[in-house]
Chains A and B, each alone.
Chain A
Amino acid sequence: MVTLLYFARLREVLDVASERIALPVTVDSTEQLIAWLRQRGETWQREFAPGKNFRIAVNQQMAEANTSVKDGDEIALFPPVTGG
């Protein structure tokens, strides 16, 4: 199982703050995870479309590029940050 967290605008649009899912066997990277999430429906496809500006953190570390994911990970998806 992995924990998926969603923040800010993504949390509102996707209507989910957190969920526990079993990673499909075909998913072992953030790129594959995104491809898999896109299949969940129109909104998911739109929000995670190629070129769309969102960030991924794996175990609370920003994933700068494609990053491996495994069972037990905490994976967060969120818009570019706007604090300060």
Chain B
Amino acid sequence: MPVGVQTEDFDIGAEIARLRSGNPKIGAIASFIGLVRDVNDGDAVRGMTLEHYPGMTETALSAILDEAKARWEVIDAIIIHRIGTLKPTDQIVLVIVASSHRTEAFAACEFVMDFLKTSAPFWKKELTGQGARWVEARESDDAAALRWKKSKGS
């Protein structure tokens, strides 16, 4: 189950085709794409730069996929996360989860994003009309990750 950290854009169609190729056990694929918005906390956003921790970031993403596989019937899954300079409407992150059934695929995909938000070392710096600013972590993201700890005891 591969993970990628890259400056280049990604193509969800190509990634899904690769993931499902020749595997008749896959009955459901859930995916998520995160995009750069042009507004955050009330201010216009002209773009952003994404920084990561080479080595640890890839390890953290792999660990998230391993955990998803331990909790649900995941046949295959990928995460691609971009770094570098991005502008509004650009794609930031892609998660694809393949499973036999939709319930598992939906749940695992949501889990992966919730944990990525709180445990994968990426940092966003936004460029606004008032200058550049580091994005602050949100408590709502911590709460989203925490609910998986409550509902699943593994």
In-complex Cβ contact of A79 among B55, B113, B134 (8 A): B134
- A-facing residues in B55-88 (Cβ within 8 Å): 55-56, 59-60, 81
Chain A nearest CB, measured from B78 CB (Å): 15
Instruction: Give complex CA distance A81, B138 in Å.
Output: 9
Q: Given A60-B55, A76-B56, answer yes or no on A83-B122 (Cβ-Cβ < 8 Å).
A: yes
B: number of interface residues (CB 8 Å): 27
A-B contact count (CB 8 A): 69
- A-facing residues in B100-154 (Cβ within 8 Å): 113, 116-125, 134-137
Residues of chain B touching chain A, judged by Cβ–Cβ distance below 8 Å, are 34, 50-53, 55-56, 59-60, 81, 92-93, 113, 116-125, 134-137
Between-chain CB contacts (< 8 Å), 21 pairs: A7-B53, A7-B121, A8-B51, A8-B123, A57-B53, A57-B56, A60-B55, A79-B137, A80-B136, A81-B121, A81-B122, A81-B123, A81-B137, A82-B135, A83-B93, A83-B117, A83-B120, A83-B121, A83-B123, A84-B81, A84-B122
